[in-house]
Each structure stands twice: as structure tokens, then as C-alpha cells.
Amino acid sequence: MWVTAAIRCPPRTTAASSTSASVMACKDLVRTCVRAVQRRPGISPDAVCVWILRAAVLSLVVIMGVPWQTATAQRSESAAAIHFVLVSDLHYGLARARFRGDSAVSAAKVNAALAAAVRALPGTRLPDDTGVHAGQPIGELGFVAVTGDIANRAEPGVQSAAASWQEFLDTFVAPLNAGRAAPLPMIVATGNHDASNAIGYVPALTPRTDTAAMAGLLRLIDPVQYAQRPPFDYTRDRIHYVRRLDGVALMVLHIWPDSAERAWMEQELSSIPDSVPVLLFAHDPPMVDISHFTAPGGGPPGTGGFQALLTEQWQGAPLPGARFEGSPTLEGFRELVRRHRNVRAYFHGHQNWTEFHALREADGTALLPAFRVDSPLKGRDSATDDTKLSFLVVTLDAARQRLTVREYRWDHVSAASRWGPQATILLR
């Protein structure tokens, strides 16, 4: 990994000369590192990293992607409060049968309305429930999480992944950032539709493969690293990463934690102190969609009904009729959670309705709280009822180590009826 991918310059928040000097020093360090890597392709990234860390001033932020520390500093409430929003399954390229009285409304228009609802959230008062910060106004959002399926598969009658990705940037990302001094931080995960567009699907898509959405996702979360890489390759460029925010680690996974993904997770978790809560973000639910595995014995997408989105080959009965309970890979995920007790919650999409549930042991005992979010295009309950369209608002109290997840019905006509169920969990 290129060292420059982990460096962000702090914004000009004051006119003080010390701040300006820090900004300039940071920019100079980034430019120097880029030149060093470009001139000497064989240079050790570790050596460059050590040099930068020794030379950096205190204002140098060592995180990947968008300026997380900036957003934290801009929040008006106490640093102990983090608010974030979870959305998923935006499915650009599809249309809702009806939305706000109109027929056949494109995903671009629906998701623009969703972005407007997220943007309007700060200042909204939380319900008077038993959750974190109950009855208090929501402050500046810490980040927005999107857990995949940004582009629908390019099936007959559906636009390309390239067109869908551009609509996502134009109608969701851009409105969220309009008028902001710094971009609103986002974490974005890979969905099965995004991945199938990149590697192919049966029946064939048009075009047969289109890496635009996956490459765009990589560029969105890590623009510096993307600039240094060759064209996107699905096998090589597995998109998973960790963000740190106010004493919490946000771990974004590639579709679902199969054996290959768990190996990466173990490496990352080994560097996170046990006292730091870890929140997982993935597309698939804890009980993964079995068709997303590679077929037993290998093979391209479509072999035996498997989509080959996960590296691991399925170990179990063939499709259809395969059952996930009792599979070695499910037990491997459970064992990881048992071993790393600071892994505290799992956020996901894919199944297109809001539910507070859990990864469970074989005997039914809850092992890890899980939170699924609605889809604005394919919602099981909301596809035919605008008032049931929802996203999740998560409020985290870092000081008390508590987190509350609340459903927010963003298109309900009655403000009093917009808040749905809530659940609070402990982070230690």
C-alpha cells in the first residue's frame, strides 16, 4: 500500500500562522513522498512511513480516505457524541413504481430525496426514549455509511454500472456535501450487484463486465492510493478498510467475512487495542447469501448457481437447498467474534428491510447484535408505501460506551411518526 494513501492534510480552520505552517508542512510531506515513490518504485513503503511519522508535525492526520478528524472537530456537541446514518441498496438504474404521487420514479430522483433527508437531519430532535441522547437535537453527522449495491446489475433494460456510479456521485454524494467547508465523511462497502457488474453474471449483463462502480468506490474512499494503481482488478483490489473516529474503529468488509476476509480482519484486529470498540459494516447479513460463494471446486460466475463474489469455495450441499447453519465458514465467523470481544455490532443491507437482529450461536444464543437497513428502491415493506421508507440513525456515546440505533422513516408525512424502533447496546 502506498504511504501517500494514508496521509491527509488538516483544513485551514483558523488564521493563526502556526496552523498555516502546519498545513504547508503537511502538503510538502505529501508531495515529497509522492515524488519519492514515483522516482524509486522499489522503495520500501515501511521505510517511507517511518520517515513521515518521525517528521510529521502534530497536525498531520494519519488516516485513510476523507478527513475524518475535520468532521469530528466541526461537530457542535460534545466530542462524546457521534451521530451517523446507515443507508444501503440504492440500486441506481432501477425505478420505484410510485413515489410521492408520481409513477416510475428513477433511482436518481428517489436517492436525491434520500440525500436531502439525511442532509436535513442535524437539528432534528431525537425521540424521548431510553436511548443515547434521548430528546436531544442531532448534531453534525460524523459520517454516512452506505453498505453496498449502489449500482444495480446491468441486466436487460438497466443502465450500465458506469452510468449508475455517476448518478450516485451527482444525486447523493454531491448534495450531501453542498455548501460544506469539508466533505462529509463516508464509508462505502461493496454490494453483490456492484461486484457482479465487475466480474460478470449469469445471465450475461450489458456490458458483460463493467468495473466503473468498483473503481469509483475505491477512488471515493482512497483517492491517493487509486491514483497510484493500475486499472481496477476485482481479485487484487478487494475493498476493505478501517477508519478510526473518536475512540471507535469502523471496519468495512468486502461483502461478507469469508475465510479470506477473516484473515485480513485478524491482521487488522491485532493492531486494535481490546479497549477500542469495533463496528463491522458489510453488505450481506451475518447469515450470508450462500450463492455469493465460489462454487465447490472453483469456476466462473454461474457455476452451480454460485456467483463467485467471495473468494472462499462453498463447503456444503449444492444449490438450491444448501443450508448455512453448520457450515465451517459460519463457525469461523462465530469464532472470530468470540475471540475478539471488542467487536460489538454488525451493520448491513442486502435483504431490503429494517430489522434489529443478531449473529447467533448454534443454540440460538445471540452472539453479535446486527442491524439491517431498508432499501429506497427494493424495500420489502417500503416499495409500495412511501411512509415506510427508512434509514438508521446511530448515536454513540463514547464516554459511556453506549450506542443506540433508531429507525427514521424519512418520507413519513407526520414528523411525530418518523421515529420507529430503537435498540441500545453496550460497547464494552
Q: Residue 102 belongs to what domain range?
A: 65-288+324-426
Closest CA to 1 of 224, 214, 211: 224
245 and 164 both lie in a single domain? yes
94 and 5 both lie in a single domain? no
Please state the domain count of the chain. Answer: 2
More confident residue, 320 or 142: 142
Read out DSSP for 30-92?
HHHHHHHHHH-TT--HHHHHHHHHHH--TT-B--SSS-HHHHHHH-SS-TTEEEEEEE----B
Residue 178 contacts residue 169 (beta carbons within 8 Å): no
- Residue 428 binned pLDDT confidence (cut-offs 50, 70, 90): confident
Average pLDDT of every residue of the chain: 84
Q: Which of 37, 62, 87 represents a domain boundary (last residue)? A: 62
pLDDT (0 to 100) of residue 234: 93
Q: How far is CA 383 from CA 125, 191, 374, 377, 410, in A?
A: 27, 20, 10, 6, 14
90 and 113 both lie in a single domain? yes
pLDDT in tens, 91-119: 999 999 999 999 999 999 999 999 999 99
Q: What is the percent of the chain with per-residue pLDDT over 70, rounded to a whole number?
A: 81
Asked if the model's pLDDT at residue 124 lies above 50, the reply is yes
Q: Which of 45, 62, 79 represents a domain boundary (last residue)? A: 62
57 and 70 both lie in a single domain? no
Whole-number Å distance between alpha carbons of 395 and 403: 6
Residue 254, sorted as left (phi over 0), alpha (psi -120 to 50) or beta, turns out to be beta
Q: Is residue 301 part of a domain?
A: no
pLDDT (0 to 100) of residue 111: 98
Cell of 186: 463516508
Q: Is residue 318 part of a domain?
A: no
Q: Is residue 305 part of a domain?
A: no
Asked if the model's pLDDT at residue 33 lies above 90, the reply is no
10 and 91 both lie in a single domain? no
48 and 193 both lie in a single domain? no
206 and 274 both lie in a single domain? yes
- Residue 145 binned pLDDT confidence (cut-offs 50, 70, 90): very high
Q: Is residue 302 part of a domain?
A: no
More confident residue, 70 or 182: 182
Q: Tell me, what CATH number does 165's domain have?
A: 3.60.21.10
Asked if the model's pLDDT at residue 12 lies above 70, the reply is no
pLDDT (0 to 100) of residue 323: 79
- What type of residue sits at position 347? F
The strands making up 343-348's β-sheet, listed across from edge to edge, are 241-245, 248-252, 278-281, 343-348, 366-372, 355-360
Q: Is residue 319 part of a domain?
A: no
Q: Which of 12, 35, 62 represents a domain boundary (last residue)? A: 62
Q: How far is CA 25 from CA 14, 31, 35, in A?
A: 16, 10, 15
228 and 101 both lie in a single domain? yes
pLDDT (0 to 100) of residue 309: 97
Q: Is residue 350 part of a domain?
A: yes
**Which residue is listed with cell 438508521?**
392
Q: Is residue 310 part of a domain?
A: no
106 and 181 both lie in a single domain? yes
Asked if the model's pLDDT at residue 190 lies above 60, the reply is yes
pLDDT (0 to 100) of residue 63: 32
Q: What is the DSSP letter of 415?
A: G
257 and 393 both lie in a single domain? yes
Asked if the model's pLDDT at residue 280 lies above 70, the reply is yes
pTM here is 0.83
Q: Is residue 227 part of a domain?
A: yes
137 and 39 both lie in a single domain? no
Asked if the model's pLDDT at residue 342 lies above 90, the reply is yes
Cell of 71: 468532521
284 and 269 both lie in a single domain? yes
